[in-house]
Structure 1
Amino acid sequence: MPRNKSIVLLSVGHACVDVYQGAVAALVPFFVAERAYTYAAASGIVLAAGLLSSVAQPFFGALTDRRPVPWLLPVSTVLGGLGVALSGISGSYALTLLFVALSGIGVAAYHPESARVARVAAAGSHSSMGWFSLGGNVGFAAAPLLVTVVIATGGLRFSPLLILPALVGSVLTLPILRALEQAPRGEGGEEAADGRDDWASFVRLSLAVVCRSIVFVGLSTFVALHARQQTGGGTAAGTAALFVLYLGGAVGTLVGSRLAHRWDRVTVVRMSYLITVGAVAGVVFVPGPAIHLFVALTSIGLYVPFSLQVTLAQDYLPTRVGTAGGITLGLTVSVGGLTSPLIGTVADATSLRTALMPLILMPAVSWLLFRTLPEPAVPKRLLGNRNEDAARTTTAGSPETSR
């Protein structure tokens, strides 16, 4: 299958899965409104989706490193959608936690194998991996709109309709599965690993990803409520803030893949985190409609590193690309969910603004962790593709070509 077609299918499928990560946070205001949940109870729902995902992520990553399991793509997509679809049909808090946890397992199962397949399809291209990651960002961005349209129309009892993207995404994976079955051994299935694993650098990168995750999931959970307080607006103001947070991620992902062709990935990621510190401070402290501008800047700053961290992790662990991709793609949303109940508890005891203040420090910690990270050596089998991509980007932006 041509690279462009396979990446498009993988990107759209990624969107159909990650819409459910965004949907959990988007459902929080509706749970608060219909079921009178406290901040702590509402954030516990995000925790349920993230906790099992965090625990399961290393297992699925190790599984894909032992042998390819492409059938996980359609199965995990349906599982992720089913959990969210069932979350609104029962008033039981325990069942709601169970259903969103089921969705979290589906998401955990999807990311390591999809990252491995995307690496094979992208042949090491930053741009192709950027487009694959963009699919997840688009899914996040679409989540609050999808949830608002469906739930605002008929309430939480309409949540079964939310399974539709999962059904579409699972169908889109079928051509990928057929292409992998037909590909010669070593092209569509297993990769020949070269290079040594740099675990020390990978651990530091993973800690930076965790700090980024805390900011993003914390804002995903509470920015809708915070924006309503800061602007004095209603549900529309909160939904707009959440939409901007997710949509800005799509912009940041594409910008990051472009910048990586001009500077090395570590430099791009490091500078992005430094700029994000001020953007998060603006979200927390700036009142009125201007908060949406800072939400956009924060989102772009958090997502410029997104696809770059995936390829960095895979280059740090060239013999364990499933584990590397699973952690950097999965932990960006799952581990951050573990801190959401703490933010909610502080918000209940003080104020939501006070609870969000510690998030300002997290990008600074990520910057410190990246400050002395080395740029990893690119595996030889991928180096030609990345150089070809860089040359294409340079030529496309040259004055001769533009004329």
Structure 2
Amino acid sequence: MERGIVILAKANTRKIKVNSSNHTVYPILVILGICHLLNDTLQAVIPAMFPILEQSHGLTFTQLGFITFALNMVASVMQPVVGLYADKKPVPFALPIGLASSMIGMLGLALAPNFVFILLSVVFIGLGSAIFHPEGSRVAYLAAGSRRGLAQSIYQVGGNSGQALAPVITALVLVPLGQFGAIWFTLIAGLAVLFLIYIAKWYAAQVGPGAPTIKEAKPKKRDQQVSKAIKLALVTLVFIVFARSWYVSSLSSFYAFFAIDRYGLSIAEAQIYIFTFLGMGAVGTFLGGPIADQFGKKNVIVYSFLLATPLALLLPVVGPFVAIPLLGVLGLVITSSFSVSVVYAQELIPGKIGTMSGLIVGLGFGIGAIGSVALGVMIDMIGLGTTMSLMSLLPILGLLAWWLPSDQKVRAWYSG
């Protein structure tokens, strides 16, 4: 494998490696994408179990919202913390250790007798995910070479594919086996641990001693205007990711209930709608990276929301047959900016690979978790139909991406 080169910031002793050539290490990226698929499949089991848990434990929509909140707050808000620490001191073998935590959580979820134990199990799953995502993004960066958008897409498409498996999991495993069927996913966690041991060994070689060093990229201008522009762009990006994650969460967690109520479907039949949305979302995630490499990251982010907005507004009012292709196109376009947002943030503040990944993927989704609780409360108070109609307004907020600095401007801040 290619040795990385250390980016050594003079201001501190933090070391970050990047590929020493433009060579993209595809075997590592593919295995990492598979690990991401397995990890996010475990997370996807939780919202997929909502109809099962609602029936077996008599949970309210508010309680289901709190389960989503617990998962996302641990899995997401902890990501910037993990990323910040790893930027200073990478810990490659934290990857398999984190998935071992998820394995314990899946075992607990299968056996949980009540709401409190469900929450505790979800915390263990969330902790494993919090460790995996920023470190996984760092491995993708190390293996990317000159194809950062493509590399991030290969990594992220695994996660979106894992989420897309949730409806299949529900229809084939959880509906016939019930809550205890979740125990089979401890095997998935164990497989992920084995893959991540291999990844961790490669990762350790990239951050080990003996590699050459270069200076970390810094803005050529340290004036107040540039610093304010960077901070404003980062805040805007996090807000946009929040709007997207809250909307996607509203569909993946509660649209099945909407389809059951509105169209008179069974639990298994409703999963076709969710699978269509999440499956096409995985395709959009993969395509977004190489498109951004060609046409620019800001352009992909802007047009992702611009195209998604009218589709989202139509979704609550169309019939059952139109809803399926509409969900497919909506999933394709709104997730096309998923991996692109991470790469944009990493280039906006170079040298903080794990921190930016944790901030965008983690904190953005963590804030969205707060929305999940509000969403459950809203459904209990005003009903499914009204709530889903209100949620369709969220993609409009993503149009704030128009005011993000262009890719050329970001590069100009760090050139010269």
Cα distance change on mapping 1:124 and 1:77 into 2, 3 Å: farther
Name the residue aligned to 2:130. Answer: 108
d(CA) in 1 for partners of 2:211, 2:92? 10
Name the residue aligned to 1:400. Answer: none
Q: In the TM superposition, what is the alpha-carbon distance from 1:337 to its structure 2 partner?
A: 2.1
Name the residue aligned to 1:401. Answer: none
CA contact (8 A) 2:48 2:169 kept: no
Moved more, 142-151 or 65-74: 142-151
Cα distance change on mapping 1:138 and 1:187 into 2, 3 Å: farther
Matched, 1:356 2:388: yes
Name the residue aligned to 2:404. Answer: 373
Deviations 1:247-304 (A, max 9, x none): 1111111221232143211012101101111121222221222212222122112210
Cα distance change on mapping 1:180 and 1:104 into 2, 3 Å: closer
Cα distance change on mapping 1:123 and 1:352 into 2, 3 Å: same
Deviations 1:52-101 (A, max 9, x none): 23331221121111111111211112222432332131221111111112
CA contact (8 A) 2:170 2:271 kept: no
Q: In the TM superposition, what is the alpha-carbon distance from 1:192 to its structure 2 partner?
A: 5.5
d(CA) in 2 for partners of 1:57, 1:346? 28
Q: In the TM superposition, what is the alpha-carbon distance from 1:308 to its structure 2 partner?
A: 0.6
Name the residue aligned to 1:392. Answer: none
Superposed, 1:106-255 pairs within 5 Å as: 106-125=128-147, 126-183=149-206, 185=208, 193-196=216-219, 198-255=230-287
SS of aligned partner of 1:338: helix
Structure 2 residue runs without a partner (length 5+):
2-23, 220-226
Cα distance change on mapping 1:76 and 1:240 into 2, 3 Å: same
Name the residue aligned to 1:394. Answer: none
d(CA) in 2 for partners of 1:54, 1:189? 34
Matched, 1:92 2:114: yes
CA contact (8 A) 1:216 1:333 kept: no
Cα distance change on mapping 1:5 and 1:90 into 2, 3 Å: same
Cα distance change on mapping 1:360 and 1:233 into 2, 3 Å: same
Deviations 1:102-156 (A, max 9, x none): 2112111111111111101112412122111111111111233224322223221
d(CA) in 2 for partners of 1:187, 1:233? 61
Name the residue aligned to 2:18. Answer: none
SS of aligned partner of 2:192: helix
Q: Which runs of 4+ in 1 moved over 6 A?
A: 186-191
Cα distance change on mapping 1:62 and 1:189 into 2, 3 Å: farther
- Aligned partner (choices 319, 328, 342) of residue 374 of structure 2: 342
Cα distance change on mapping 1:57 and 1:101 into 2, 3 Å: same
Structure 1 length normalisation: TM-score? 0.88
Name the residue aligned to 2:31. Answer: 9
Name the residue aligned to 2:21. Answer: none
Deviations 1:336-357 (A, max 9, x none): 2221121122211222011122
Query: Percent identity among equivalent residues?
Result: 25
Matched, 1:302 2:334: yes
d(CA) in 2 for partners of 1:204, 1:189? 36
The one-letter code matched in structure 2 to 1:30 is: I
CA contact (8 A) 2:81 2:358 kept: no
CA contact (8 A) 2:296 2:407 kept: no
Structure 1 residue runs without a partner (length 5+):
384-403
RMSD: 2.4
CA contact (8 A) 2:76 2:358 kept: no
Name the residue aligned to 1:57. Answer: 79
CA contact (8 A) 2:33 2:159 kept: yes
Superposed, 1:307-326 pairs within 5 Å as: 307-326=339-358
Aligned residues: 381
Cα distance change on mapping 1:182 and 1:53 into 2, 3 Å: closer
d(CA) in 1 for partners of 2:293, 2:80? 30
d(CA) in 2 for partners of 1:51, 1:75? 20
Moved more, 41-50 or 146-155: 146-155
Structure 2 length normalisation: TM-score? 0.85
Q: In the TM superposition, what is the alpha-carbon distance from 1:49 to its structure 2 partner?
A: 0.6
Q: In the TM superposition, what is the alpha-carbon distance from 1:190 to its structure 2 partner?
A: 9.2
d(CA) in 2 for partners of 1:184, 1:332? 28
CA contact (8 A) 1:223 1:242 kept: yes
Q: In the TM superposition, what is the alpha-carbon distance from 1:183 to its structure 2 partner?
A: 4.0
- Aligned partner (choices 301, 308, 321) of residue 276 of structure 1: 308
d(CA) in 2 for partners of 1:256, 1:243? 20
Q: In the TM superposition, what is the alpha-carbon distance from 1:379 to its structure 2 partner?
A: 7.2
The one-letter code matched in structure 2 to 1:373 is: L
d(CA) in 1 for partners of 2:45, 2:211? 32
d(CA) in 1 for partners of 2:77, 2:38? 22
Cα distance change on mapping 1:85 and 1:333 into 2, 3 Å: farther
Cα distance change on mapping 1:5 and 1:30 into 2, 3 Å: same
d(CA) in 1 for partners of 2:214, 2:318? 49
Matched, 1:37 2:59: yes
The one-letter code matched in structure 1 to 2:95 is: L
Matched, 1:18 2:40: yes
SS of aligned partner of 2:392: helix
SS of aligned partner of 1:374: coil
